[in-house]
Chains A and B, each alone.
Chain A
């Protein structure tokens, strides 16, 4: 491969991308190296290895490279499923090996004089008029920059939640009793459109014992409470029922949950 600097560059690029894609801990930065490694270089290496005399317009070679790279990563998962698992390191290593293998085969093919002499269909047969490339004026650069900025702004706006006057807010109440025989965990989620004051009543063993709690939550906020189990007269499981009230409607139960608190083990 030493005689072919372009193949050396492709292999080196694949190695660099494989190492940095795995090593860089910041996803967005790692993506800059993972993208060519996964979506371009494997296909490009295959095109170099198998279609070394194919002489299409450069963009067509690019499209074939990206498409074949997609085919490679769709298939490579099958191999990794049985060898190494679909983990970062095996992925990077396998994709690098595909590129390396492709470049080695391409180098061998280039040494074959018969293959080297063959003619392939070229760009001129795709209806591409040979023209000088137009120079990009200032207006072109500005328009493209504005277009890209518009697309970026559109995507950014899409990721940004906006207010909605007609949606109906709500509150969540949940209970978790599995952690301990002496504690009940109760959660309240405020999905209302404004800060809300809540009252919460926990009743153990029917109406035998009750505990009252208060909390204030902002929109989107979650509050959790740990309530000690009371009123247990035996070690048997005990029923707990929790009712949530909004303080502006103190007489109207808003949410209700209930569960069994597990029995105490004899040692406790």
Chain B
């Protein structure tokens, strides 16, 4: 199967290659140069944004263009070797990961990162796993990522931020490289593999969500690694099939202890490959991977029931809400969710950006039928190709979920799994081999630009427009460095409060987790949210604080403090910043049980003392 397809990619080096060699510069070196240049430009854009200067967004997307376009262009070439294509996709994956790292350095700023950062710090401090995390109770029971980060942190003395950034970076490299080899094995073409991996970078979560220090950022690369090993096993000689068992089961087990949804996805993917394999070969005998599907399902089930039973509640609520929202939207009981929605006082996505995002989806929609035809013609005897074809169709179903309000997140999270299949199907569509009589010189540049649109459109669709760039968290002033109000409060808590259980709004609470390392309750369970947003003091509030042993109440008058993406940064004088009524804070002043122990203007901390 592979040799035939592979032979079509072989050929003499093209003229363009020899021209580059003539001046002593390989195209790969040019791609590295432009990626480095693009990273400087992106970092400048972040610096402009942190400095509250205008036009940073234009600079930022210019940097992304400089990184991606030369790589995309070279990937469309016939002459690049497998190794060069691999290095190009690794360069793309690593460069885009650095774009995310530069946005947030030198600390975690994403909602999930601060939660997992807290878990990792607790592991490093206590040398043991499974510590309570009141903000997201399920996370300590999937300690794969934090455990991995702790290995580097404990052996070297690095911070968990540095160790976590390195581990997620390594996982990012494994993701793109495994995807490349998976696609190469299935298609028999390094060119298709390179294009497929590049297309995958256009998935909605590739830029930010999938690059954060969060369990899925490790589990998804392990899933793709597992798929690559299954694909390699498929072409292995029968005597050596058993040799793959240990590496594949190792990957499955690591996924199971790292992330719940990905572990279920692994079981489903393996089952689907097993069924497709049976469909193709009419046999359940090896290399049909059904035993691995059973292993994955059993391990996930055992972990769920024995170790992480709280996952039931954690997943059932959003999934139930998603199903209900879909039913309501289809039945006309609820209006569909508008695309590119942003709340009040939040900058909306510009029209051009919206158009790019929709154009990206349109390009994918147009390409998929061509790819599906190619799959049916050329790859219908390959189980992986069949699964990829089904996944590419499934991706568009996940897009439909974006129209139902409570199903949006489910659709967004599912898309990065389905995008694997979509990337393969679009890559095998064969546009790069198109040779029209006229304008043939524009085919490769056109494809490179199309890939850029898919990349940029995906990034815009997957992350709020107003938070694509770094925000001011620490600012240089008068020879020193000043920090934002929530971070200053968290640093005070870390420095001045020994132990302590806190109640806080989401953003403040996340910073109290990391860097402060405090036990903190946020949100509605228990209902500290209402205590912190309600200017009155109904009779249930103080007893609830007593019941949960909450000693410190962090009152933040900024409404944005409830926002786990935007609530960490400085207040700006050129943007409106709505406030809760003053009563949310002053209601504690008259109570002898509470001492007002910290104030920085927007944020006041009250200490509750028993027996006053």
Given contacts A164-B52, A165-B52, contact A75 B24 (CB under 8 A): no
Number of interface residues of B (CB under 8 A): 141
Q: Are B177 and A63 in contact (CB under 8 A)?
A: yes
Q: Any chain B CB within 8 A of the CB of A25?
A: yes
- Find chain B residues with CB under 8 A from A54 CB: 232, 236, 240, 243
B254 and A70: CB pair below 8 A?
A: yes
User: Which stretch in A133-141, A198-206, A208-216 binds the other chain?
Assistant: A133-141
In the complex, chain A residues whose CB is within 8 Å of the CB of B181: 56, 60, 63, 126
The contact of A127 among B21, B82, B95, B258, by CB within 8 Å, is B82
Shortest Cβ gap from B434 to chain A (Å) = 19
Q: Are B492 and A59 in contact (CB under 8 A)?
A: no
B109 to chain A, nearest CB (A): 12
In Å, the complex CA distance between A129 and B11 comes to 8
Please give the distance in Å from A237's CB to the nearest CB on chain B: 8
Instruction: Give the contacting residue for A126; candidates B2, B24, B25, B157; CB below 8 A.
Output: B2
B501 contacts A by Cβ under 8 Å: no
Q: Is B127 an interface residue (CB 8 A)?
A: yes
- Given A66-B173, A137-B23, A174-B597: A162 and B476 within 8 A (CB)? yes
Contact with A along B457-484 (1 / 0, CB 8 A): 0000000000000101011111111111
Asked, given contacts A125-B3, A189-B488, whether A155 binds B246 with beta carbons under 8 Å apart, the answer is no
B480 neighbours in A (Cβ, 8 Å): 218-221
Residue from B42, B128, B475, B478 within 8 A of A85 (CB atoms): B128
B window 225-248: CB within 8 A of A: 225, 228-229, 232, 235-237, 239-240, 243-247
B29 at the A interface (CB under 8 A): yes
Question: B343 within 8 Å of A by Cβ?
Answer: no
Partner of A260, one of B221, B222, B257, B612: B612
Q: Distance in Å from the Cβ of B156 to the closest Cβ of chain A?
A: 4
By a CB distance below 8 angstroms, the chain B residues around A124 are 3, 6
Within 8 A of B (CB), among A137-184: 137-141, 143-144, 146-151, 153-155, 157-177
Within 8 Å by CB of A150, from B36, B151, B158, B479, lies B36
Contact A68 B247 (CB under 8 A): yes
Chain B residues with CB under 8 A of A72: 250, 254
Is chain B's binding surface mostly helix, strand, loop or mixed?
helix
**Contact (Cβ within 8 A) B570 A131:** no
Known contacts A125-B2, A147-B33, A31 near B188 by CB under 8 Å: no
Contacts A54-B232, A138-B24 given: A161-B475 contact, CB under 8 Å?
Answer: yes
Q: Quick check: is B57 within 8 A (CB to CB) of the other chain?
A: no
Q: Tell which of B34, B105, B240, B253 touches A75, judged by Cβ atoms closer than 8 Å.
A: B253
Contact B155 A22 (CB under 8 A): yes
Contact between chains at A63 and B82 (CB < 8 Å): no
Tell whether A86 is near chain B: CB-to-CB under 8 Å.
yes
A13 at the interface (CB under 8 A from B): no
Q: How far is A31 from B157 in the complex, measured between Cα atoms in Å?
A: 9
Contact yes or no, B476 A161, CB < 8 A? yes
Give residues in A with beta carbon < 8 Å to B.
21-22, 25, 27, 30-31, 34-35, 37-39, 46-47, 49-54, 56-57, 59-60, 63-64, 66-68, 70-78, 81, 85-88, 91-92, 95, 114-115, 118-121, 123-129, 131, 134, 136-141, 143-144, 146-151, 153-155, 157-177, 187, 189-195, 218-221, 255-260
Seen from chain B, the residues whose Cβ lies within 8 Å of a Cβ on chain A are 2-3, 5-6, 9-11, 13, 21, 23-26, 29-30, 32-40, 42-44, 46-47, 50-52, 81-83, 86, 95, 98, 101-103, 105-106, 123-124, 127-130, 143-148, 150-152, 154-158, 162, 166-167, 170-171, 173-174, 177-178, 181, 184-185, 187-193, 218, 221-222, 225, 228-229, 232, 235-237, 239-240, 243-247, 250-251, 253-254, 257-258, 470, 472, 474-485, 488-489, 492, 496, 570-575, 595-602, 605, 607, 609, 612
